[in-house]
Structure 1
Amino acid sequence: MKYLTALLLAALTLPASAEEIACTTTTWKLIGANHRICVYAYDDPKISGVTCHVSQARTGGVKGSFGLAEDPSQFSLACRQIGPINLPAKLPDDEVVFSEDTSILFKETKIHRFLDEKRKVLVYLAISRKIIEGAPANAISTVPIQPWGGK
């Protein structure tokens, strides 16, 4: 019960939900949904002016149609400055800015944000892992903090 409560609290505190931009079929399935690659966008919830796009493989078939399939750990990440960047006064050294379950049991994709103060760059790291096993699947994107439109 203690573990379940911790998971529920963690889920409630995670920011940003992704907006689906588009999906394309990679494998046609006779029964159930097709295998797809989908592109999602999310705006950094604490730093205005930054949007990240994530592409992820989505498993189809009968299990995929009912949300029971485990999606593969295949994704890509691209983050860009889309407006003036306003950093909050206190920014954590490592903060999860987006999290999504990619299977019904314990597999998730998380995007962490770091600040490279020396180079004035935001670093976004996407990791796909199983809570129990861990996995090395990851992608990185950086956003230089630059003036925007004379600001």
Structure 2
Amino acid sequence: MRAAFVGLAAGLAFSGLAMAEEIGSVDTVFKWLGPNHKIVVEAFDDPKVAGVTCYLSRAKTGGIKGGLGLAEDRAEASIACRQVGPIRFAEKLEDGEVVFKERTSLVFKTMQVVRFFDESRNTLVYLVYSDRVIEGSPQNAVTAIPVLPWPTAR
């Protein structure tokens, strides 16, 4: 009962965030039992900024614990966001707003992407980092997209 409540609460907390689509993966370590360790590449669209897609690469722990969802994934991640169409803002943006969040351990660790808008340079900035309930990690990656007019077909 308690596990169901925690799952429901986590689902509600993450609603309104982008959902990732796996683009591909490569194995990094062979495991005799359970899935191999791998690097996964995922894509997600910014839910409040039409015309922006972010690509995220991150490590996924395999083995028995990884296969059961009990392993803690590493904190390293890389991000590249690109303009894929005309940029339109669905609503006012908040600096530091979480646009993507994914659990990277059973309970205590998450990887998240936050968005900032550098108004003086007319640029969207996305930061990926990992945090824990007790202690986060300083490892991070950043990408930026200048907000430019999208060419129209003639």
**What TM-score results when the alignment is normalised by the length of structure 2?**
0.89
Q: CA 1:92–1:74 in structure 2 vs 1: closer, same or farther (change >3 Å)?
A: same
Give the aligned residue type for 2:39: I
Is residue 10 from structure 1 mapped to residue 35 from structure 2 by the alignment? no
Q: Residue in 2 aligned with 1:124?
A: 126
> Equivalent pairs: percent with the same residue?
51
Matched residues in 2 for 1:52 and 1:79: separation? Answer: 4
Matched residues in 2 for 1:106 and 1:36: separation? Answer: 21
Query: Deviation at 1:10?
Result: 2.0
Give the aligned residue type for 1:82: V
Q: Residue in 2 aligned with 1:91?
A: 93
Matched residues in 1 for 2:25 and 2:92: separation? Answer: 37
Query: Deviation at 1:74?
Result: 1.6
Is residue 125–residue 141 contact of structure 1 (8 Å, CA) maintained in 2?
yes
Is residue 22–residue 38 contact of structure 1 (8 Å, CA) maintained in 2?
yes
- Compute the RMSD of aligned alpha carbons: 1.9
| Mean CA deviation greater in 126-135 or 62-71 | 126-135
Q: Residue in 2 aligned with 1:107?
A: 109
Q: CA 1:33–1:6 in structure 2 vs 1: closer, same or farther (change >3 Å)?
A: closer
Q: Residue in 2 aligned with 1:30?
A: 32
Is residue 38–residue 60 contact of structure 2 (8 Å, CA) maintained in 1?
yes
Is residue 50 from structure 1 mapped to residue 65 from structure 2 by the alignment? no
Specify every segment of 5 or more residues in structure 2 that has no aligned partner in the other structure, as ranges: none
Query: Deviation at 1:8?
Result: 5.7
Is residue 84–residue 148 contact of structure 1 (8 Å, CA) maintained in 2?
yes
Query: Deviation at 1:88?
Result: 3.7
For these two proteins, the number of residue pairs brought into alignment is: 148
**What TM-score results when the alignment is normalised by the length of structure 1?**
0.90
